[in-house]
Chains A and B, each alone.
Chain A
Amino acid sequence: MASSFSSPLPTSFSSLSPKNHILHKTQLALFPKKASTLFVTRSSDSGGGSVASVAVADNLEVKEKKAEVKEEYLGSNGAAVKAEAAAAAVAAFNDPRWVEGTWDLKQFKKDGVTNWDAVIDAEARRRKWLEDNPEASSNDAPVTFDTSVIPWWAWIKRFHLPEAELLNGRAAMIGFFMAYFVDSLTGVGIVDQMGNFFCKTLLFIAVVGVLSIRKNEDFENLKKLFEETTFYDKQWQATWQDEKSPSDSSK
């Protein structure tokens, strides 16, 4: 019996820990992204700084060529710029499958059928590139790609199903363990547990918990979210706090 107790626990922990790995990776990925954006914008800012100071003197030409600008920005702040950011800042986003402001779906064909996963990957890569190296929007080549061209089932297959599997797995493990635990304590079998109101409430809480708290940060995020929804209302009603009449406080 002791061994059967312990067996659900390790499996649930081990299934949670890969999520933690991903969690760490996303946290780490977030910071370098912000840092590289800062570097690129900082380099442009110092160029911008010198630009702005001349602007106050009232007579400044916005530079002609993008390459020139980039070099000027980089040259004036060479020290702070990382090697990759420098190289990336010079080149614009470039991909043979990106034609005239949208993805050419014909180039994504695999065995005669469009490979939607590759389209998703390509778009993610494009957005990441542009986030790290913002470009001028151009009237000659306007970007018109809309993510809704990728069919709904491709999104579900790629993003929803793995997470659904994960959450269902968690819910099943929690459910099995809790049913066993309650049965061992009270002797009430699983069928009779379903008929009990308290047990049904616990089941509801367990399902909502699994759905809403998927990562460690979700605890804090949910609390902040709740505060956020009513914060603006409180700011507007502040002027009514000192008034005695009760009729104005509800909005």
Chain B
Amino acid sequence: MASLTSAAAAATRADPSLHSFVGLRRVPLQNHLVTRNERNAPKTPRSLQIRASKSSPRLSGRPLRVAVIGGGPAGGAAAETLAKGGVETILIERKLDNSKPCGGAIPLCMVDEFALPLDLIDRRVNKMKMISPSNVEVDIGKTLAPSEFIGMVRREVLDAYLRSRAAAAGASVINGLFLKLETPQDSTGSYKIHFTQFDETLTLGGEKKTMEVDAIIGADGANSRVAKEMGAGDYEYAIAFQERVRISDAKMEYYKERAEMYVGDDVSPDFYGWVFPKCDHVAVGTGTVTHKADIKKFQAATRLRAKDKIEGGKIIRVEAHPIPEHPRPKRVSGRVALVGDAAGYVTKCSGEGIYFAAKSGRMCAEAIVEGSANGTRMVDESDFRNYLRKFDQLYWPTYKVLDVLQKVFYRSNAAREAFVEMCADEYVQKMTFDSYLYKRVVPGNPLEDLKLAVNTIGSLVRASALRREMNKLTL
């Protein structure tokens, strides 16, 4: 059971395409196209990439026109890449000042790959505390270098920044609500999208409009309407519930660079409860897939466990949102593709979605730019399948490893106790942070891997032995 972690780690090591992170030096904005090509070279031969655009009809007199529905990280990144690639881009976002309920944690590789200015980041978390069901606590972060951190951002700030970059690259940002789309009769016709445009004068209800586009990227989040229109199918989702609590400065000092993770059946049967620091308050929340009706109960339990540290705090906001658990059955249909939460790219175990949303948006846009030879040719479904193939190949190991970890360690209280115990090990901390911050696994020492496997099995066996003893007791 434990060898799965080391075996999966070995699998990620063997995959040469996991070199998306190019170090902490500031990468100029154009370079993301270069690194993408480097990744492609060993996997797909050049001829395959040109084939799509050679066989597609050349557009006469106008560039390719793509609508990006949704202006979060996925939509913003996609729109920027499209606009830079010479494609006529329209970004439709329904609420430009939307403050999304979100943990707000971004890995280091996102800061670098998307050239995010450091002042976007409210807090740099470099200490995490894991707390087991019986309150055994372990601090992780000893192995981090001083320049390494988990960035905590406010979603409204990040989303607005990415959209402004897209607008600066030439995309037109429209404040509107997507209603429906009409598929073309033949394979080269245009899609017709219906949306309501809200103008600055805030006329009630907005103005109904239509537009003809050649392709659509659905980046409209977990409740994606594009997904519904294209018949993408449903996914299982978790409910994440969060309360923003303003606590005293003295208590806030403890959370200055520290995030906490609480595990236990009381806090969530299949996820974890968290306390994440934000700009001037903390976010206390939890989530669940299987027991959604009990979410308030789990939230109360989370507040109880963090009680001493958030005592006297004032709840300033209560928010909840669905989080997809796995990709939708269909992510591409014709010339409509889904990216980000709309596609279901949230990892298990940690529930991370921002980076994968932005990256998938960018990768989809790159596939369109390439397939259309910079906006001069029509694209077809095979170009979107290219994006899917690349994304799946690049990140499948990460998703699978996190799925295995969730299955093994979130199974029961005994497994969670073993999980927290394992986190005390420095090798585990190093591997965890490396794979989270850079989305890659550094070739580990095989001897250390073996020790890790043995220790994992030992922890799990001890915890389940104690579990059997606990079952015999009736207090």
Contact = CB atoms under 8 A, between A and B. Distances in A.
B137 interface: yes
Given A37-B266, A139-B309, A55 B243 contact: yes
A125 B304 contact: no
B276 to A, nearest CB: 16
B306 A136 contact: yes
Interface stretch (B145-153, B157-165, B325-333, B445-453): B325-333
B226 to A, nearest CB: 15
A64 B307 CA distance: 9
Interface in B168-210: none
Q: How large is the interface on A (under 10, 10 to 19, 20 to 34, 35 or more residues)?
A: 35 or more
B307 A136 contact: yes
A205 interface: no
Interface in A128-146: 128-132, 134-140, 142-146
A239 to B, nearest CB: 4
A45 interface: yes
Contacts of B243: 55
29 contacts: A37-B266, A41-B297, A47-B300, A48-B296, A48-B303, A52-B299, A62-B307, A62-B314, A88-B475, A124-B470, A127-B134, A128-B470, A131-B134, A132-B475, A135-B304, A137-B131, A137-B305, A143-B134, A143-B136, A144-B137, A146-B421, A147-B417, A155-B462, A159-B468, A232-B348, A238-B327, A239-B332, A251-B392, A251-B396
B47 interface: no
A29 B474 contact: yes
A227 B13 CA distance: 26
A25 interface: yes
Given A41-B300, A147-B421, A32 B474 contact: yes
Contact of B462 (A45, A131, A148): A148
Nearest to A142: B137
Contacts of B254: 139
Interface string B257-298: 000001011100000000000000000000000000010111
Interface in A36-93: 37, 41-42, 44-45, 47-49, 51-52, 55-56, 58-62, 64, 66, 69, 88
Interface in B445-475: 458-459, 461-463, 465-466, 468-475
A28 to B, nearest CB: 9
A233 interface: yes
A26 interface: yes
B400 interface: yes
Contacts of B233: 238
Contacts of A41: 266, 297-298, 300-301
Interface of B: 131, 133-137, 233, 235, 243, 245, 254, 262, 264-266, 294, 296-301, 303-316, 318, 326-332, 348, 385, 388-389, 392, 396, 399-400, 403, 407, 413, 417, 421, 424, 458-459, 461-463, 465-466, 468-475
A66 B307 contact: yes
B395 to A, nearest CB: 10
A155 B407 contact: no
A126 B417 CA distance: 13
Interface of A: 25-26, 29-30, 32-33, 37, 41-42, 44-45, 47-49, 51-52, 55-56, 58-62, 64, 66, 69, 88, 120-121, 123-132, 134-140, 142-148, 150, 152, 155, 158-159, 228, 232-233, 235-236, 238-243, 248, 251
Given A32-B474, A131-B265, A143-B136, A239 B469 contact: no
From DSSP, what is the main secondary structure of chain A's interface residues? helix
Given A239-B328, A248-B389, 11 more contacts: A41-B301, A45-B294, A120-B465, A129-B475, A134-B304, A136-B304, A150-B462, A233-B400, A238-B233, A239-B327, A240-B388
A107 B310 CA distance: 35
Contact of B466 (A47, A48, A124, A248): A124
Contacts of B331: 239
Contacts of A64: 311-312
A127 B417 contact: yes
